[in-house]
Amino acid sequence: MSSVIEVLALGLAAGTLTTLTGAGGGVFLIVALSLLQGPHVALAASAPTLLVGNLHRVWLYRAQVDGKTARSVILGALPASVLCGLLAVSLPPLVLQAMFLGVTGFAVARAMGRLRWSPRATLLTPYGAVVGGMSATSGGAGLLMAPLLLSTGLSGKPYVATSAAIALATHVGRLSAYGARGLMTPAVVTVALSATVAVVAGNVLGDRVRGYFDAERTRRLELATLALSSALALATLAG
């Protein structure tokens, strides 16, 4: 297991980045933990951490959550996260690592404008199932959720709040699946607790510095985060 300091640093960065950009921090945390500890441990340890982080983010922006949109997406995302979480435990590490790389590559292409794709807002529930499945197998739910929520007209704090509410449900689903399959060992729980404290601190930090980031700076930060995640995913696959 990696040192507590490394886990705390990763959690702080993930919480700050997700609060500022609405997506990307969770993938960064999972890919970085995978490089240190392997993909199965990364998925299991990140589940309670990101659950608490998103719960805290929902609390911070509770008045901004679009309940109707969140409920529609969760209807598909929650059951899919459970089913795919059960499947992920049986997948070979190399397959999970390849999925991490694919998700980050997709995210970079979208952020750079190379992949222009906007799902219809009328497909919230079926698309939510895709989001839930991705969350349980590669942690890319936030990246897939971004174009969906943007298609409903959400932006700013309502976008961050609604995204966090949906992510909260997917992490509940995948955590229950990992626990049922025996992934939540004492060692993994220790890593998760350390990262959780750091993610919450990162949420607070991100909220405080949010005013210094306009739309362009936020876009650049998201792109930099995704580029770094892609590099880490490639290193994980190569290793």
The whole-angstrom distance between residue 33's C-alpha and the CA centroid of its chain comes to: 13
For residues 221 and 140, which has the higher predicted lDDT (pLDDT)? 221
Q: Residue 135: give the domain boundaries.
A: 4-233
Flag whether 238 is in a domain. Answer: no
What are the pLDDT digits (tens) for 21-41? 766 777 888 888 888 888 998
Flag whether 121 is in a domain. Answer: yes
**Structure token digits, residue 162:** 């609604």
**Structure token digits, residue 127:** 């698309």
* 120 band by pLDDT with thresholds 50, 70 and 90: low
Flag whether 112 is in a domain. Answer: yes
- Other CB atoms within 10 A of residue 177 CB: 23
The whole-angstrom distance between residue 126's C-alpha and the CA centroid of its chain comes to: 19
Flag whether 148 is in a domain. Answer: yes
Burial of residue 63 (CB within 10 Å: 0-12, 13-18, 19+) is: exposed
Domain total of the chain = 1
Do the Cβ atoms of 34 and 101 come closer than 8 Å?
no
Do the Cβ atoms of 32 and 7 come closer than 8 Å?
no
* 111 band by pLDDT with thresholds 50, 70 and 90: low
List CB contacts of 120: < 8 A, sequence separation 6 or more: 151
What are the pLDDT digits (tens) for 159-218? 889 988 999 999 999 999 999 999 999 988 988 899 889 988 998 998 888 888 888 888
Closest residue by Cα to residue 139 from 29, 1, 233: 29
pLDDT at 113 over 50: yes
Flag whether 239 is in a domain. Answer: no
Flag whether 9 is in a domain. Answer: yes
What are the pLDDT digits (tens) for 49-89? 889 888 988 998 999 999 999 999 999 999 999 999 999 99
What are the C-alpha distances in Å from 203 to residues 13, 40, 128, 171, 200? Answer: 9, 25, 24, 17, 5
pLDDT at 149 over 70: yes
Q: Which helix (H) or strand (E) holds 187?
A: helix 186-209
**Rounded-to-integer distance, Cα 26 and Cα 29, Å:** 5
**Structure token digits, residue 173:** 């689903």
**Structure token digits, residue 89:** 């435990």
> Residue 156 has what pLDDT?
84
> Residue 119 has what pLDDT?
61
> Residue 53 has what pLDDT?
82
Do the Cβ atoms of 103 and 55 come closer than 8 Å?
no
pLDDT at 1 over 60: no
